[in-house]
Amino acid sequence: MRRSNLPALVLLCSFTALYAQTTDYKSNPKFQSSIAEGKKLVHERQIPFAIDAYKKASKIAQGKDIDTLNEIFSLQVKLGSYKDAVATATALEAASTTPELKARAEVNHGYALYLQAGDKHKPDLLNAADADLKAALALDPKNPTALYLDGEILAYLGKMDDARNQFKGCLSCMSPNDPSRLRTQHFAEDPALVLHKMAPSFEVTALDGSKFNLDAMGGRVVLIDFWATWCGPCNEELPHVKKIAKEFAGQPLVIISVSWDSDETKWKNFIAKNEMTWLQYRDADHYLSKQFAVESIPHYFTIDSDGVLTSEMLGSGSDVEGKLKKLLARVRSSSAPVIQTGN
């Protein structure tokens, strides 16, 4: 499945509360039962069956319920069924009754086409996606999602000046405190970065209370270590990670360990007992892990000073130090200063 570079701001499919419905199907027991079944199956991670349940509800609603179509679209994207997601986005367009809803439906249609274009970036699909996003912006000129996504698509199409303008337009619509702003700013300055395999943009609060924003690392290299206290191979790797933290202390490197632990107390006690002095974050719901498509641990990622995902290493025995030495040498040879952010 294709991993998108889209930052946190590009959370599509948020139609709820943008419209009011007074239709009879809402009180239909079969509709309510299908919706409840869909939610239950999503919770149980049985996505294909959840889609079927929501489709049954949508049929009862005669394809007019925005929330139900939205759930179907979101789940199809999650499952990687992009062609089906395109069809659902078309249904969303037909069901949308306001300019804002229609704009969001156009964005979703463009997003699904963009994902369907795949890693080969098929020009016909990208051009179709660009047309959808332009239609969305005609209805809602300050839609940051449409601006950002169109910037990425235009970069893949080789239209760097146009891409830069879209990213700049996106910046003008974003809050200064938006965690995705830095990624967007980087792309506005150099749209060619889009063509690289960028690490997912994210911001989390570490155990020590500090904010970790990947795009705020200011020219530093980042090592992300996915692990858990109950993971035997992870415990075997711990001395290696501690050695890296000590060996590269004072260098432009940030290490963050991301734990799968559900027991917060056990996690904190383990960190204190083993003197894990670098940044620690507990990903109990696996949200961040899903962003990186991590399904097993220990799992390492190295990210260069531009946010480019340079390597992915699974299991013990990985040459993490060698990768870091090369990345740090590149930073030292660069004239760009390292920005201190407190992390």
Residues forming beta bridges with residue 227, ordered by sequence position: 259
Query: pLDDT at position 334, please?
Result: 60
Say which CATH topology domain 203-333 has: Glutaredoxin (3.40.30)
Query: pLDDT at position 337, please?
Result: 42
Query: pLDDT at position 113, please?
Result: 97
Cα 310 from chain centre: 17
Tokens matching residue 234: 């992870």
Cα 9 from chain centre: 9
Sign of CA dihedral 71, 72, 77, 78: positive
- Cβ neighbors of 101 (< 8 A, separation 6 or more) are 15, 18, 19, 66
Query: pLDDT at position 7, please?
Result: 53
Cα 261 from chain centre: 21
**CATH code, 65-195:** 1.25.40.10
Encode the chain (343 residues) as per-residue pLDDT tens digits. Answer: 444 555 545 545 454 444 444 568 888 999 999 999 999 999 998 999 999 999 999 999 999 999 999 999 999 998 999 999 999 999 999 999 999 999 999 999 999 999 999 988 999 999 999 999 999 999 999 999 999 999 999 999 999 999 999 999 999 998 887 777 878 888 999 999 899 888 888 889 999 999 888 877 767 899 999 999 999 999 999 999 999 999 999 899 999 999 999 999 999 999 999 999 999 999 988 989 988 989 999 999 998 877 888 888 887 767 788 888 888 888 777 644 443 444 4
Domain ranges in the chain are 65-195, 203-333
Asked if the domains 65-195 and 203-333 are classified in one and the same CATH topology, the answer is no
Query: pLDDT at position 182, please?
Result: 78
End-to-end CA distance of the chain: 32
- pTM listed for this prediction: 0.72
